[in-house]
Amino acid sequence: MQISLDTKPFASLETDALVTYVFENGDLTQGRPAELDKLTGGMLSRLSKSGELTGKSLETTLLHAPAGFKAARLLLIGAGKREQFNPATLRKVAGAALRYLKARAAHKVVFLVREGDSTDAVAQAVTESAIVSDFETDKYKTDKKNDKFIETFTIAGFSEAEKAGGEKGIARGRIIGDAQNFTRDLVNEPSNKLTPKILAEKAEAMAKEAGLAVEILDEKKIAALKMGALLSVAQGSVEPPRMIVITYTPANPKPGAPIIGLVGKAVTFDTGGISIKPADGMEKMKYDMAGGATMLGIMRAVAGLKPNVKVICVVPSTENMPGGKAQKPGDIQTAMSGKTIEVLNTDAEGRLILADGVHYAKQLGATHLVDAATLTGAIVVALANINVGVFGSDQAWTDKLLASAKAAGEKMWQMPMDDEYREFIKGSFADIQNIGSGKGGGSITGAWFIREFAGDTPWIHLDIAGTAWNDDAKPWLAKGPTGVALRTLLHLIQSF
């Protein structure tokens, strides 16, 4: 899909479809709607009077051969109430329009922004959303819908003076949208096509192509470094673990800026181990590497966006399998940090591999940490598939992330981290235990476990178990991996 900006008068653009957004109970006598109404000889007013055009969120009104336009079709998409309109709504509207037109075999699409929306940020958001909404999960289908594709996506409504800015926005949006789809591609891979070893190879290839420093620790190096928590999860599988380390170093580092450590859980398949999961729905546990894939996608984008901060990405990867060599409930393991862990449930494996990942990121020099993980079913109970669960040890650092989430249009909700919860994971026979002692708050005890390894280093944990996978297709997004948290973290990284 080619994305570009065209400053020619929009009515003169030859295209399969021109789309713009209208507000609920919007005024048709002013601004862009008035222009469209006039061009079409009052069609918008007539549709509005008849009740067909209301502007309700994601309502679609398709006009064929619209009078006054060179476009073959004019699509009006509802953007809901003007007071509630924000960058997140704009993304949904643009994505839904693209998917609607793609399904109707349009190949060339023009997206017309409203008066006042011809900004760099809007060009970036619309570009990201076009790329992300265009993504399909049909890689392994032999009968692909090859006739349904968007060839060109043109943004209109910008003046000549606004063009350079808009094009910068498109360039940034393309880097970010492509990175998000890179993450989704990885998450979409089933576990037989994506073992820890293959993930590491793909990460290494990406890093080399992007010009990033990369080191892959194999099982021998992992053992030499005494990463006992990661090894304990990996020991049940015939597939060896990997620790992926990718580093971005800015040309002109900002003095006093943090060194950001990104740690992502990459369990390429989580059976639960000896504490095995029920069969129903287990197939979804191929997405238990979404946190790691998100961090890899972020690094891919960081290489192109060139922020002023150093970023170290650490992705521990393993399978979690039962077997003759698997760890068993009650086993005591020693993490890289030296802390001893009583493994009461082998299905609480994400926190184990993150313990070593977080410790290693600190050792490599990270001053501020963020981890992302499909960590708990409990966060799905608490926040469903709507909000990412945010846990933090340092409110200033957490506030920065929450502000970035807002700006990026991703829903995130901070969870409590009171000291009382820490008691739940006090060990009976080792320093700590890997599950809480039966008092609920499962997502919080999971977070506290990781925090034990972050220590005094400002740290944020994102539990994306509920939000990394879309069970049903949305008008603006395919079913399957979402790539959630990538845009928020890129915004955070670029805020220095």
Active site residues: 277, 351
Distance CA 443, CA 351 (A): 11
Which residue in 162, 239, 349, 410 binds ligand BES (CB under 6 A)? 349
The distance of closest approach from Cβ of residue 484 to ligand BES in the complex, given in angstroms and rounded to an integer, is 12
Q: Which stretch binds Mn ion (CB under 5 A): 39-47, 103-111, 151-159, 347-355?
A: 347-355
Q: Within positions 287 to 316, which residues make up the interface with Zn ion, using CB under 5 A?
A: 288
- Which is nearest to 482 in space by CA: 80, 129, 59? 129
Q: Which stretch binds ligand BES (CB under 6 A): 162-170, 251-259, 375-383, 388-396?
A: 375-383
- Residue 72 or residue 380: which is nearer to ligand BES going by CB? 380
Question: If binding is defined by CB under 5 A, does position 350 make contact with Zn ion?
Answer: yes
Distance CA 190, CA 163 (A): 42
Question: If binding is defined by CB under 5 A, does position 319 make contact with Zn ion?
Answer: no
Q: Which residues pair with 462 in a beta bridge?
A: 372, 390
Binder of residue 219, out of Zn ion, Mn ion, ligand BES, none (CB less than 5 to 8 A by kind) = none
372 φ, ψ (degrees, to nearest 5): -130, 135
- Tokens 């949904």 -> residue: 92
Quickly list DSSP for 242-271: EEEEEEE--SSPPTT--EEEEEE-EEEEE-
Binder of residue 377, out of Zn ion, ligand BES, Mn ion, none (CB less than 5 to 8 A by kind) = ligand BES
- Residue 376 or residue 457: which is nearer to Mn ion going by CB? 376
Distance CA 407, CA 9 (A): 31
- Residue 269 or residue 360: which is nearer to Zn ion going by CB? 269
CB under 8 Å to 275, separation ≥6 — which residues? Answer: 329, 345, 346, 347
Q: Is the dihedral of CA 390, 391, 395, 398 positive or negative?
A: negative
Distance CA 24, CA 20 (A): 14
Q: Within positions 260 to 279, which residues make up the interface with Zn ion, using CB under 5 A?
A: 267, 270
Residue nearest to ligand BES (CB): 377
For residues 142-157, b (16+ Cβ closer than 10 Å) or e, as one string? eeeeeeeebeebbbbb
Residue nearest to Zn ion (CB): 270
The distance of closest approach from Cβ of residue 271 to Mn ion in the complex, given in angstroms and rounded to an integer, is 8
Question: If binding is defined by CB under 5 A, does position 239 make contact with Mn ion?
Answer: no
- Residue 292 or residue 350: which is nearer to Zn ion going by CB? 350
Under 8 Å between Cβ of 260 and 310: yes
- Residue 43 or residue 348: which is nearer to ligand BES going by CB? 348
Question: If binding is defined by CB under 5 A, does position 270 make contact with Mn ion?
Answer: yes
Q: Within positions 272 to 301, which residues make up the interface with ligand BES, using CB under 6 A?
A: 272, 288
Structure tokens at 71: 């476009």
Which residue in 307, 442, 458, 481 binds ligand BES (CB under 6 A)? 442
The distance of closest approach from Cβ of residue 232 to Mn ion in the complex, given in angstroms and rounded to an integer, is 13
Cα separation values, 57 from 113, 191, 471, Å:
16, 38, 21
Measured CA angle at 141 (ends 482, 99), to 5 deg: 45
The distance of closest approach from Cβ of residue 285 to ligand BES in the complex, given in angstroms and rounded to an integer, is 6
- Residue 44 or residue 358: which is nearer to ligand BES going by CB? 358
Q: Catalog residues that contact Mn ion under the rule CB under 5 A.
A: 270, 347, 349
Q: Catalog residues that contact ligand BES under the rule CB under 6 A.
A: 270, 272, 288, 345, 347-350, 374-378, 380, 435, 442, 465
